[in-house]
């Protein structure tokens, strides 16, 4: 699910780093504004706010949704409504990519055979065979949709710097 970033900005303003991490324990992708497809949503902004602020950005929380699909080990990303994170852009594949977590909680991103590719730090991942470890601040792209990965602590630092 995509959530407007303002919800997290408010939370970061009232909490310290430890309390924020307890309230928001999952890593996130901060998604740059993009043009969606089909029906109108609050995430269909075309540009960030003045001075490149976070206004207009949305957040994808990297966790399984309630009543999730059968792929219990992965957080799925794509255009279809049955993904854990739905990204309503026509150039994002129905099942575009997925995130998996290892025993230590480190996240890796994998392309699911998407049409327009999955990129990490500017490099396209080989579909279905290559995974890339996600580190705080790394920029990823799902087709044309650009996002930045953050752990809870790094997300708090990002929010409080805005």
Note the pLDDT tens digit of each residue in 125-159.
999 999 999 999 999 999 999 999 999 999 999 99
Judged against a pLDDT cut of 70, whether residue 4 lies above it is answered with: yes
Helix (H), strand (E) at residue 153: helix 152-160
| Phi and psi torsions of 79, nearest 5° | -75, -30
CA separation for the pair 23, 20 (Å, rounded) = 5
pLDDT of residue 66: 77
Q: Distance (Å, rounded) from C-alpha 12 to C-alpha 120? A: 27
- Dihedral sign, Cα of residue 11, residue 15, residue 17, residue 23: negative
Give the three-class secondary structure for 111: strand
What is the model's pLDDT at position 65?
A: 81
Assess contact for 32 and 70: CB atoms under 8 A. Answer: no
pTM: 0.86
Residue 50 CB coordination number (10 Å): 7
Looking at the structure, give the CATH architecture of the domain made up of residues 2-160.
Sandwich (2.60)
- pLDDT classification of 42: cutoffs 50, 70, 90: very low
- Check whether 49 has a pLDDT greater than 50: no
Phi/psi for 11 (5° steps) reads: -65, -45
**Tens-digit pLDDT profile for residues 57-97:** 999 999 988 776 566 679 999 999 999 999 999 999 999 99
Question: What secondary structure letter does DSSP report for 86?
Answer: E
Tell me the mean pLDDT in the region 24-43: 74
pLDDT bucket at 54, cuts 50 / 70 / 90: low
Using the predicted structure, report yes or no on whether residue 14 has a pLDDT greater than 80: yes
Residue 15 has pLDDT above 70, yes or no: yes
Mind listing the pLDDT tens digit for each residue in 88-103? 999 999 999 999 999 8
| SS3 assignment, position 110 | strand
What share of the chain has pLDDT > 90, as a percent? 75
Q: Which of 97, 136, 104 is nearest to 119 (CA)?
A: 97
């Amino acid at each position: 699910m995509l959530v407007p970033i303002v919800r997290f900005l408010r939370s970061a303003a009232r909490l310290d780093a430890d309390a924020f991490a307890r309230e928001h324990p999952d890593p996130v992708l901060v998604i740059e504004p993009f043009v969606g497809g089909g029906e109108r949503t609050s995430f269909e902004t075309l540009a960030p706010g003045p001075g490149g602020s976070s206004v207009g950005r949305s957040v994808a929380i990297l966790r399984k949704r309630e009543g999730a699909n059968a792929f219990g080990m992965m957080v799925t990303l794509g255009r279809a409504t049955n993904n854990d994170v739905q990204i309503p852009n026509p150039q994002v594949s129905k099942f575009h990519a997925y995130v998996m977590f290892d025993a230590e909680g480190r996240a890796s991103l994998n392309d699911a055979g998407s049409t327009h590719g999955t990129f990490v730090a500017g490099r396209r991942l080989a579909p279905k065979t290559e995974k890339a470890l996600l580190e705080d601040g790394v920029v990823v792209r799902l087709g044309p949709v650009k996002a930045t990965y953050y752990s809870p602590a790094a997300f708090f630092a990002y929010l409080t710097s805005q």
